[in-house]
Amino acid sequence: MLSLATLRSRWHAFLGTFAALAAGVALLGATGLVLLATEPRVPARLARADLLVQAPANPAVAGAWQLRRPWSQAEAAELAGRLGALDGVSAAVPDVAFYAQALVGGAAAGDAEDEPQGHGWSSAGLASFGLTAGRAPAAAGEVVLDETIGAAPGDRVTLLTAAGPRPYTVSGTVDGPGEYPAGYYVTDAEAARLGAGVTQIGVRADAQAADRVRALLGDTAEVLVGDAMTAAEPVREIRLRELAGLALGMITGLGTFTSIFVVASTFAFGTHQRRREFALLRLVGAVPRQVRHTVYAEAVMVSLAAGAAGSVLAAASAQWFADVLAGAKIVRPDLDVTLTWWPLAAAAAAGTAVAVLGVGSACRRAAKVAPLEALRTAAVETRPMTRARWAGGLLSALLAAVMAATLTGAGAESAVRNATVGAAAAVLSMALLGPALLPPLLRVACRPLTRLPGAAGLIVRESSLTGVRRIASATAPVMLTVSFAVLLVGSLTTSQEATANEEATRVGAGVAVTAVPHGAGLSREVAAAVPGDAVYAVQSTVYYRDEKGHWSQRSISGVSPKALAAVTRGHLKLVAGDLTRLTGGAFATRPDLAEANGWRLGDAVTVRAANGADWRMRLVALVDGDNLPGGGEALVAEDAVYAHDPTALIPVVFTDAPRAEVTAALAAPGATVRDMVTWARDDGGFSTLIWTFVMILVTISAGFGALSIANTLLMAVRDRHPEFRLLRLAGATPRQVAGVIATESTLIVALGTALGGVVSGGALLVMRSALADMIGHPVPLTLPWGVITGIVATCLAIALAASVIPAYRASRHSLATS
C-alpha cells in the first residue's frame, strides 16, 4: 500500500527509472525478436531439392570456416548417376560452382564475401525461382542471371571469373530471392571447365527415398533432409548470424549495464531526497528490513509497468530495428521479424531483474536511515562522501595509475588495452570521488561567472557549493558519456590509422592492386598485367589427412618465380632446402609447421586438392618469416595452384612501379589501383563494421546517459521549489530564476565534459605515444570531433530542457501557492 501510494504521489521521481527500464526492455525485446528471425534457412537456390547430399566436412577449426572436402567432378557425376538410379529418385544434380560476378558500373555485383556464384544450368532445376525472360544458356558465352542485375536477354555483360574478366551474352533472366544475386548460370559444359571440385549433389526424390540414399552412401557423405537442409546456407549468412549474435550481445550487455547504472543512480538520488520520509517510517515503527522492502517494492512495481511498456515498444519497433541493423550490414537485408511472446516476456523479466539489481544499494542506504533524522528541522546535506565511496574512488585511481605506469614497454595491443582499462578506472574514480573533487573545481569554474553583472553567478556558485551531491550526481552521467565516446571512437580511429601505416610500411611497395569494389579477388590475367616488380600470391585450400586419419584444411599460397625472388630479398629467410626447386609438385613451409606435422625435407605428402584430385607434394624448402606470402601455411608454385584449382583468386598485387603506369597498364576493367596507405586502411568493410558497432554502443550509452542527466536534474528541480520561492521573494523574476538554473545546468555539462575529456584525452595521448614507439614513426591523434560535439550538444540540450522548463514553471507559481 505504502509503495503504491508513494508511486502515485511521487510518480515524477520514478519517471527516469521507468524510462530507462522501458528503453532497456524494448532494446532487449527487439534484440531477441531479431535474433530469432536470423534462424538459418534453406537458400532459394536449393529450395526445390528434396535432399542434399554433401561431401564430408572437416572438423571445425578456430578462425576458419568449416569446409567440405570436395569430390572431383568425375566422382560427383558417378555418384549422381548411382543416386539417380535409385527407386523414387527423379533427379540427382552435382552442384558445380565457380567464381563469377557481373561487372556493373565499375563494381562487382553482390559481395566479396559471397560463395562462388557461378553454376551449371542443371543446378537451376533445384532453385525455387525460374526464368522470367529469355531461355536457358545453350552455348559457351551465354549466361542466365538475376533480373536485379538490370540486363535483359540479348544484352552483353562482363563477368569477372577466375580466368579474368570475360564478355557474356545474356540468354535469360531469373527472379532471385531479393537482395542476393540469384547466381550466374552457364551451360553445364562451361561450368565444368570453370569449376573445381563438387561439394554437394541436389536430389529430387519422394519421401521414402531418403533411407535408400543413406543406405547407398553409408558414411561417405552427409544426407540432409527437411530442416537439416538449412546447413547448406551460404557462409555469408552464417557469418552474418555470428556477427549479429556478437553485435546484439554487446547491445544487450551495454543496455543492461547502463540501465542498471541509471536505475541505481536515480534511486540513490531519490533515496537521498527521501531520507526524512524513511526516517519517519522508522520512527513510526518500521524495522530496517521493512524500509528496504518498501524501496524494493517500488522498484519492482515500476519495472513491471516499464516491462509492459517496453514489450509493446519492442514489438512495434523490432522490424524497424532489423532494417537498421540490415542497413549497417549486421543482419541479412531481407529479414522478416515475426512476433513471438517469449523473448518479450524474457526481456520484461530481465527488466525486473535489472531494477532489483540496480536498486540494491539504494535500499541498503534507505534502511540505514536513523529514525532521529526525522526530527532534525533543517534538511542538512549529510556528508556526501561515504567510506565506500572513498575506498572505491581511491582504489580506481590506484588502478589507473598502475595501468599508466605499466604502459610503456608493453606491446601495442596491451598498450591499447592498458590505456583503455586505465581510462575506465580513472573515469570511475572521478565519478566516485566527485563530491570531494568538485568544490575546488566549482570555485574555479564559477570565477568568471561571479564577475558578470547580476546575481546569477553568485547564486549558482553558492547553491552548487552547498549542493555538491546534486552537482556530482548530474555531472557523472555527462562525464561517463563523453569519456566513453571519446575513448571508444578515438582509440579506434587512432589505432586504425596506426595499424594502416604500419602495414603499409611493412610491405614496402608503392602501389597495391586489388579487385574492383565488392569483387572477391583478381585473376591471374590481371595480375600478370601489373607492371614493375609485382608481388602476389594466389590462394587455395587443400585437405590433408594425418597419420591418425584426421582430416584438416590447409591454406596454400601459389607464387611465381619472380614474386618468390622479390619476397626472399625482403623478409623471407631460407632456413633449409632450396627454393629454386619450388616447381610442379614441390612445396615450402615454416619450420614450426613442418615440425608440428612431422615433415622433413624431401618427404612426400598427399593431399586432396580443391578440384577433388589427389595431389602429391614434396617438401623442398623450409622458410622463416612472420607470415608466408599470402598468409598461407605452405608455399607452392603458382602454376601448381591453378592446375589443381581453376577458381583460385589473388587478393592483392603489390608493385614498385609508379601508380600512373600501373593504372595505364590496367585499363581493362577488373582492378582497383591505390597507394599503400589507402589500401591498408581498407580492410574489406571490416573497419566500417567496427565503426558501426562503436556507433551503436556510443548511441546506446549516450541515450541512457541523457536519460540519467534529465532525470537527475528533474528530480533536483522538484526539490528546489522553496529555493525558487525565496529568490522570487527577494525580487527575482521567473526569467531570472530560469537564468540561474540554465547557468547551473550549463556549468554541470561543461564540468562533465571537461572531466571526461581530460581523462579520455589523456588516455588517448598515452596510447598514441605507445603506438608510435611500437611502429617507429609518429601516429596522428584522430579525434571524432563530430561525435563529441554531437554528444555534448545533446547532453546540454537535454540538461537545459530538464531543468529550465520546470524551474521556470515552478517559479511562476511559487509566489501564489504559498
**What residue ranges bind another protein (CB under 8 A)?**
1-2, 5-6, 8-10, 277, 280-290, 370-372, 374-375, 377
User: Cell for 181?
Assistant: 544475386
Q: Which is nearer to another protein, 277 or 633 (CB)?
A: 277
Q: Which is nearer to another protein, 212 or 276 (CB)?
A: 276
Q: Which is nearer to another protein, 95 or 373 (CB)?
A: 373
Mutual angle of helices 11-37 and 2-9, in 10-degree steps: 100
Distance CA 602, CA 600 (A): 6
Least separation in angstroms between residue 269's CB and another protein is: 18
Least separation in angstroms between residue 719's CB and another protein is: 13
User: What b/e sequence results for 86-109 when a residue is b if at least 16 CB atoms lie within 10 Å of its CB, and e otherwise?
Assistant: eeebebbbbbbbbbbbbbbeebbb
Q: Which is nearer to another protein, 9 or 208 (CB)?
A: 9
Q: Which is nearer to another protein, 668 or 815 (CB)?
A: 815
Q: Which is nearer to another protein, 374 or 800 (CB)?
A: 374
Distance CA 200, CA 79 (A): 11
**Which pairs count as long-range contacts for 395-404, CB under 8 Å and 24+ apart, including other chains?**
395/429, 396/425, 396/426, 396/428, 396/429, 396/432, 397/425, 397/426, 397/429, 397/433, 399/425, 399/429, 400/425, 400/426, 400/429, 404/766
List of residues 6+ apart from 506 with CB closer than 8 A? none
Q: Are strands 634-637 and 586-589 parallel, antiparallel or unpaired?
A: antiparallel
User: Cell for 268?
Assistant: 540513490
Least separation in angstroms between residue 20's CB and another protein is: 22
Q: Which is nearer to another protein, 215 or 284 (CB)?
A: 284
Least separation in angstroms between residue 266's CB and another protein is: 18
Least separation in angstroms between residue 309's CB and another protein is: 23
Question: Do 52 and 167 contact (CB within 8 A), yes or no?
Answer: no
Least separation in angstroms between residue 402's CB and another protein is: 37
Least separation in angstroms between residue 274's CB and another protein is: 10
Distance CA 417, CA 405 (A): 13
Question: Do 541 and 65 contact (CB within 8 A), yes or no?
Answer: no
Containing 554, the helix (H) or strand (E) segment is: strand 551-559
Least separation in angstroms between residue 277's CB and another protein is: 7
List of residues 6+ apart from 346 with CB closer than 8 A? 28, 29, 32
- The alpha carbon dihedral of 511, 516, 520, 521 has a sign of negative
Residue 169 φ/ψ, nearest 5 degrees: -105, 130
Task: Write out the E strands in 31-155.
Answer: 51-54, 89-94, 97-98, 100-104, 107-108, 118-120, 131-134, 142-146
Least separation in angstroms between residue 290's CB and another protein is: 6
Least separation in angstroms between residue 364's CB and another protein is: 14
Q: Which is nearer to another protein, 5 or 215 (CB)?
A: 5
List of residues 6+ apart from 777 with CB closer than 8 A? 501, 505
Q: Which is nearer to another protein, 11 or 686 (CB)?
A: 11
Distance CA 103, CA 194 (A): 18
Least separation in angstroms between residue 304's CB and another protein is: 19
Closest residue by Cα to residue 204 from 94, 90, 95: 90
Q: Which is nearer to another protein, 279 or 652 (CB)?
A: 279
Q: Which is nearer to another protein, 290 or 627 (CB)?
A: 290
DSSP 579: G
DSSP assignment string, 179-229: SS---EEE-HHHHHHH---B-EEEEEE-TTHHHHHHHHHTTSSEEEEGGGG
Least separation in angstroms between residue 12's CB and another protein is: 13
- The alpha carbon dihedral of 451, 454, 456, 462 has a sign of positive
Least separation in angstroms between residue 255's CB and another protein is: 31
Q: Which amino acid, 368?
A: K
Least separation in angstroms between residue 289's CB and another protein is: 7
Q: Which is nearer to another protein, 349 or 374 (CB)?
A: 374
Closest residue by Cα to residue 4 from 273, 373, 304, 270: 304
Specify the 3-state DSSP secondary structure of 573. Answer: strand
Least separation in angstroms between residue 14's CB and another protein is: 12
- Per residue, the 3-state secondary structure of 448-479, as one string, reads HHHHCCCCHHHHHHHHHHHCHHHHHHHHHHHH
Closest residue by Cα to residue 715 from 398, 381, 469: 469
**Distance set, CA 161 to CA 100, 197, 524, 558, 648 (Å):** 5, 16, 10, 18, 10
For the chain, the first-to-last Cα distance in angstroms comes to 30
Q: Which is nearer to another protein, 681 or 718 (CB)?
A: 718
Q: Which is nearer to another protein, 368 or 573 (CB)?
A: 368
Least separation in angstroms between residue 227's CB and another protein is: 56
Distance CA 405, CA 421 (A): 12
Least separation in angstroms between residue 375's CB and another protein is: 6
**Distance set, CA 400 to CA 425, 429, 478, 768 (Å):** 5, 9, 20, 17
* Cell numbers 534529465: residue: 710
Least separation in angstroms between residue 376's CB and another protein is: 10
User: Cell for 744?
Assistant: 547551473
* Cell numbers 580466368: residue: 163
